[in-house]
Amino acid sequence: MEKTLNPKKKGMLITFEGGEGSGKSTQIQILYDALKREGRSVFLTREPGGTKLGEKIRDVLLDRKNASITPLCETLLYMASRAQIVEEIIRPELEKGKIVLCDRWLDATVAYQGYGAGVNVKWIEQVGKMTTGFVRPTMSLFFDLPVADGLGRLRGKRALDRMEKKSVYFHQKVRNGFLAIARREPGRFRRIPLQESDTIDQVHAKVMNILRDIL
Ligand code: TMP
């Protein structure tokens, strides 16, 4: 039988955000493995992507050949992938009582397309409410590594995708967007300050420290 630490708790959504090369995808996998080992009922997914259709949209969005995509078109494609994953995966998993871990969420659209690319943030939030069907994360973690360090980690490893290739200035604006969300919603959107020298285990300990109360 599945062990549940707190059987009264219903499903909850926890999302991970951060700049390029911040290590959030490594950390979400480590958290997933840790919760699984504890016998928790947990589901890991990502967006854009997470569904067959969403992964196709992801390919379009990250393809360097699509450099001419407009900010509005880009915004709507991220929203389209999200609309699909919410109804196909996230809501059903939450209804089963699972802890759903999602690598990125609507906050990324606010930060990247809103603060980064200049799309109206209020409009993004409105469309976002419809797109997410009012599903809201219980908690969101923002992995805040200095922009130059994050981009530096990626360089030389592999060909950068369309978003990673954008200027340092763009990525600074994205970070400002995440910081603004953290100021507006300090209870939900929790900043984890990171340094280049932090080990994977040290960052995981910070994650567990923040999530302990809700888990
Ligand atoms: P990833 O880095 O989490 O794999 O996400 C893929 C890229 O898409 C990353 O550069 C962030 C970007 N992104 C947006 O620009 N807007 C969004 O709404 C989402 C979910 C991701």
Q: What is the pLDDT of residues 68-89, one digit of tens each?
A: 999 999 999 999 999 999 999 9
Q: Is pLDDT at 4 greater than 90 in this prediction?
A: no
For residue 206, report the distance from its CA to the centre of ligand 1, in Å.
23
Strand ranges across the sheet with 99-103: 42-46, 99-103, 12-18, 139-144, 189-193
Q: Whose CA is nearest to atom 21 of ligand 1?
A: 108
- Choosing among 3.40.50.980, 3.90.420.10, 3.30.1360.120, 3.40.50.300, the CATH entry for 13-195 is 3.40.50.300
Whether ligand 1 lies within 6 angstroms of the CB of 78 is answered as yes
Q: Whose CA is nearest to atom 15 of ligand 1?
A: 112
pLDDT digit string, tens, across residues 161-205:
999 999 999 999 999 999 999 999 999 999 999 999 999 999 999
Residue 99 forms beta bridges with which residues?
12, 42
DSSP conformational letter for 111: I
Name the residue among 129, 106, 103, 128 with its Cα closest to residue 178: 106
Domain ranges for the chain: 13-195
Q: Is pLDDT at 38 greater than 80 in this prediction?
A: yes
For residue 7, report the distance from its CA to the centre of ligand 1, in Å.
34
Question: What tokens appear for 170 in the block?
Answer: 């763009």
Dihedrals phi, psi of 140, to nearest 5 degrees: -130, 135
Whether ligand 1 lies within 6 angstroms of the CB of 108 is answered as yes
**Cα 68 from Cα 28, distance rounded (Å):** 32
**Cα 148 from Cα 164, distance rounded (Å):** 12
Whether ligand 1 lies within 6 angstroms of the CB of 103 is answered as yes
Dihedrals phi, psi of 8, to nearest 5 degrees: -75, -20
Q: Which residues, at least 6 apart from 109, have a Cβ–Cβ distance to it below 8 Å?
A: 75, 78, 79, 82, 124, 128
Q: Whose CA is nearest to atom 13 of ligand 1?
A: 108
**Cα 12 from Cα 181, distance rounded (Å):** 20
Whether ligand 1 lies within 6 angstroms of the CB of 104 is answered as yes
Mutate to test the pocket of ligand 1, among 85, 106, 112, 151 (most ligand atoms within 8 A of CB): 112
For residue 62, report the distance from its CA to the centre of ligand 1, in Å.
8
Q: Please state the pTM of the whole predicted model.
A: 0.94
For residue 41, report the distance from its CA to the centre of ligand 1, in Å.
26
Give the atom of ligand 1 at the shortest distance from the alpha carbon of 20.
2
Q: Is pLDDT at 7 greater than 70 in this prediction?
A: no
Residue 100 forms beta bridges with which residues?
13, 43
